[in-house]
Structure 1
Amino acid sequence: MNRRIKLFILLFICAAPLFAQNVSVTAKVDSVQLMIGEQTDLVIQVKLDANKKALLPIYNDTIVDGIEVLDMAPIDTVYSDDKAKMTLTQRYKLTSFDAKLYLIPPVEVEVDGEVYKSDPLSLKVETFDLEEADPEQFFGPKDIMEPPFVWGDWVMLFVSLLLIAPAIYLMIYLIRRLADNKPIIRRIKLTPQRPPHDEALELIQEIKSRKSWQTAGPKAYYTELTDVLRTYMFKRFGFNAMEMTSSEIITELGKTENQKDIDELKDLFSTADLVKFAKHNPMINENDANLMNAIDFINDTKVLPDPDAKPEPTEKVIVEKRSLRTKILLGIGVALTLAASIACIVYIVKEGTDLLRSLF
């Protein structure tokens, strides 16, 4: 009987390591050798049954004296195909600023109240080897460099400075126009109309001075002279003499003027018709007589201005009352100009401060 008990105890002791193999803890460092200030990862991997709970270590600042913990990644969990096993992986970001060989003690993981440990690790941190024979291979800190002048950094500032003064002036003008509520006054320059006899006499004097009957021929001379008279009659009497024949003009004049002036003018138009249609070539004295008849007709029929009459105005004033729509537009203009001015000022202050700070 005692023999059977001993055999059972022996089998239990031998089977205990097999049960313990259900949990395994491994730890490794991605790089076991690094330069001072470089970083590496400490990877802890725990394999256990899916129904077990494990507590992995939490390092606050250092894992050992001289090795700093910069970051701790979330735990990565991977299950086996039958969901009976799982693997937990935890990564810690390490660095060191002291060159030496470090011994990382075994990592302890608690699984269902029982502690399991990994193998210890080593991490070698090396520093730079400065050779005195070649001191130029390393350089000290460089002096502060001044940034180059770039027009693109200043162009918007200059544009804002140029726009701010007109914008403020426009805003003040609009505010004053909106506040005074004055009507809008426009002035139009008027050109006084010349009397028709002045224009006609001036044109006849030009014909006389050019001696058109000699330079251009009788036909051109009489055409030009009768056109001046027709234009004068239209402006003076109001009938369209330019579209009337000579006989129609004489008939129309007979309604208003004395017969002596009409007879003289009748001789002029008769001569003009003969020259135009019958190739008549009048004498020089006849040309002069017809020109004088035209001048006498104009002087006899002209209307002199009334000396007591008021002079014609040279300027016309138009007064327009400001409507509600105009007031609303003025108000909107003031608001938009004020907003643009404020934006320009803010931009000038901000950009100017940044540029001066970068320079000094």
Structure 2
Amino acid sequence: MKRYLFSIALALIFMGKGYAQSVTVDASIDSLQILIGEQAKIKLEVSLDANKRAIFPAYRDTLVRGVEIVDVAKPDTQLLNDGKRTLITQEYTITSFDSALYYLPPMEVLVDNKPYRSKALALKVYSIPVDTLHPDQFFGPKTVMNAPFVWADWYLFIACVLLLAPFLLAAIYLVKRIRDNKPIIRKVKVEPKLPPHQVAMQEIERIKQEKVWQKGQPKEYYTELTDTLRTYIKERFGFNALEMTSTEIIEKLLETNDKEALSDLRTLFQTADLVKFAKHNPLMNENDANLINAVDFINETKEKEDENAKPQPTEITIVEKRSLQTKILLGVGAVLAAAAFIWAVVYICKELYNYFA
């Protein structure tokens, strides 16, 4: 009976000892000696059953007087023994700015509201060594070093330039169009292309209405009249009459036309040459006769129109003038756009200065 009671008592002792060893708390420091301002790490490890809950010590700014806590890492949890045990590790980064030997008291962890303490630690903090043999010797300031070129420092500036460039080009285009009294957007109108003889007859009608020869300008009158005929001949017969002399034009036309149709044209060109180069002053009826001769030549040499032929389209740019009210509105808009652009440039320059300063 006594032996049986002794066995029970021994089993209870070992069970109590096993329970007491179910939670272990251990603390270690990676460096026992540091210089002022350097850092050291304290690792706190807690081993416990997986079904238990541990609460680590919560420090604010200092571990003890003179030892400051710089950072508290997030706890790291590992499962051991097929998930039956848990190992929790937490690191504390500490530093000190006073040289001394510091006693770091045990760190207390609560496991199911029961305290468990680690062993105490020590930390020796040394001051920076001073050359006492040469107290007057010191090192001056170092020269300014040029920072290496890094594209990342210029990304903001490049982005601002790319964003502002379209606005600047649009403002320049807007100001130029307003200054030239032209519309912001050019209107394009599609009209049928007139045959050469109709274009020439319209130009001759304009010359007739202006009556330049009656203003004492016979040279201008014959220049416009012969240029109109040269343009017609180029479009009608296919050779560059604008770069040819009157004689060359007549000789070229003789290859394709009868002499009677060209006799009046020859007279017109001769009179024009006398006016332009010999300062000849023709009579009023002579000017009218030459105008009629030009019309007769065009009518006698024009191509026969095909009623079934479709007119060839051509694009004609229409330039419209603006009213005074439109100019005022565009001017106000341009001023507001310029003010907004200047404000954006100033703001971006300020931000860039603050960024690189």
TM-score normalised over the length of structure 2: 0.50
TM-score normalised over the length of structure 1: 0.50
Specify which structure has the bigger relative contact order, considering alpha-carbon pairs within 8 angstroms and separated by 6 or more residues: 1
